Amino acid sequence: MKLKTLLATTALAGFLAAPSLAQDLDAMSAEELLPLAQEEGTVTVYSFTSRIAAVEAAFEAAYPGIDMIGYDASSTEQIARLQAEAAAGIATADVIYISDAPVVLTQLLDAGLIEAYVPPRVDGLLSDEFKSPLLSQRLSTKVLMYNEEAHPDGAPVDNLWALTTEDWAGRVIMVDPLQRGDYLDLMVEFVLRADEMAAAYEAHFGAPIELDAGVDNAGLQFITDLFENDLVLVSSTDDVNAAIGSIGQSNPPIGFTSYSDRRDNEDEGWALQVANEVEPSNGIVFPALLALSTNTQNPAAARLAIDFLMGDDSETGGAGFAPFYVAGDWATRSDIAPHPDAVPLEDFIGWSIDPVATAEIRQEIADQILILQ
């Protein structure tokens, strides 16, 4: 591919120019980076969340003399933009703050558009899965949620397979997995966890699972049965939230959405609650990633910004992490305390996705779902 060649050449040129510099910078502490960063004077962050505006204010207060430019764009838009910019030989971003890990790994990291950086300060506070192949800053979810007003005694299901039964025909809702990457990742996870899905089937129906012709694992069987049970698809997470959560419903649907959207219950008139006692799991937990742009013009400031976004050493991560310290999202750093209003991560039953394994079979699963529709 032409793009790749171009990138390789650009990256190569960068390496030849300063091979040792990048390594030196990687090992520097925030204090050591600061004077270099101040010399650079500016850092542009592509962020998939608008909360970058709050980070920007805090960063500029903490490090006067460095102008942070926060640019809020969806993961898909960031990927398209980075690819287009690379093809045109332009570099505007220094730091990439992005979701959609499976796509990011294949289309950005493997293509050489971004590279990993772990601030030495937090290196010891993160488990390996959060450091490689890219740094994870926090974790979000797509999990089974129900209406707690209609079901005050807890979730109306205790096994995912219940969703494929007559009781829930036409009453399970989610965003079309062929329109939103995180929902596709959820589907992929069912397949990657096929053994657990098979065990849960037996626990629910009392007999071992029998696979349909052309279906080769319990995960795909679950997806098939779910679609055949008149699964309702909508186009945005907010539609899912309103459908499940709106108060005053006698028979609300159940479905997959973000745990952290529960924080909007009061504003929106919802009664969203997570189902955390479900066999074999309630859904997926996935990372928000931080990476350096390969062609960054401000390598020190970029590293300093990532360091800042990882939070300080206080219990809640301080000003850099404050916008992300919400119920339903979890810090990856082991020393940041869980949010008091949410289930702590260690008690949460959601599956953590493996972006590499997900990326491998993602397209195949998407194709299977396409046929089911």
Partner 1 sequence: MASISPSAGQKRRFSLPQGLPLKIGVLIAIGLLIAAPLLRILFETLAPNSISAWNDVVLSPLSRNLLWIPLGNTMILGLGVATGCVLIGGFLAWLVVMTDIPFRRTIGLMATLPFMIPSFATALAWGSLFRNGRVGGQTGFLEGLGLSIPDWLSWGMTPTLIVLTAHYYSLAFTVIAAALATINSDLVEAAQMTGAKRGRIFMGIILPVALPAIVSGASLTFAGAVSNFAAPALLGLPVRMQTMATRLFGMIEIGQSARGYVIAILLIAVSALFLWFGNKIISGRRSYATITGKGGRAKRFTLGTAKYPLFAAAALICLLTTVVPVVILIASSVAPSSSALFSNWTLHYWIGASTPTIAQGQAGVFYNPFIVSATTTTISLGLVVAVTGSILGLMIAFTLARYRTGFLSGTINQLSFLPLLVPGIAFGAAYIALFGAPMGPFPALYGTFALLVIAGTAYLVPFAVQTGRAVIQQVSGDLDESARLTGAGFFRRMTAITVPLASRGIAAGALIIFVKIVRDLSLVVLLFTPTTPVLSVLAYRYASEGFTQFANAITVVILVISIAATLLANRLQTKSQPWLKN
Nearest alpha-carbon partner for 315 in 294, 296, 337 = 337
Cβ 356 vs Cβ 370: under 8 Å: no
Token pair belonging to 201: 């089937």
Closer Cβ to partner 1, 36 or 243, answer by number: 243
Residue 353 one-letter amino acid: I
Nearest alpha-carbon partner for 73 in 87, 62, 57, 84 = 84
Helix (H) or strand (E) holding 135: strand 135-147
Which residue from 232, 327, 343, 361 is in contact with partner 1, where contact means CB under 8 A?
232
Helix (H) or strand (E) holding 200: helix 194-205
CB of residue 48 to partner 1, shortest distance in Å: 8
Beta bridge partners of 283: 143
User: Is the N-terminal amide bond of 299 cis, ω within 30° of 0?
Assistant: no
Which residue from 26, 264, 335, 354 is in contact with partner 1, where contact means CB under 8 A?
264
Which residue from 26, 149, 196, 268 is in contact with partner 1, where contact means CB under 8 A?
268
- Residue 244 in the binding site for partner 1 (CB under 8 A): yes
| Separation CA 223–CA 233 (nearest Å) | 13
- Residue 297 in the binding site for partner 1 (CB under 8 A): no
Q: Find the part of the chain contacting partner 1 (CB under 8 A) among 81-89, 160-168, 202-210, 335-343.
A: 81-89
* Chain residues 103-122 in contact with partner 1, contact rule CB under 8 A: 103, 106-107
- Residue 50 in the binding site for partner 1 (CB under 8 A): yes
- Residue 9 in the binding site for partner 1 (CB under 8 A): no
- Residue 44 in the binding site for partner 1 (CB under 8 A): yes
| Separation CA 334–CA 53 (nearest Å) | 25
- Residue 225 in the binding site for partner 1 (CB under 8 A): no
Which residue from 22, 30, 62, 178 is in contact with partner 1, where contact means CB under 8 A?
178
CB of residue 197 to partner 1, shortest distance in Å: 22
| Separation CA 342–CA 107 (nearest Å) | 34
Token pair belonging to 98: 């992005």
User: By the criterion CB under 8 A, which residues form the site for partner 1?
Assistant: 1-2, 44, 46, 49-51, 69, 71-74, 76-77, 79-81, 83-85, 87-90, 92, 100, 102-103, 106-107, 170-171, 173, 176-181, 184, 232-235, 237-239, 242-246, 249, 252-253, 261, 263-264, 267-269, 326, 362-363, 366-367, 370-371, 373
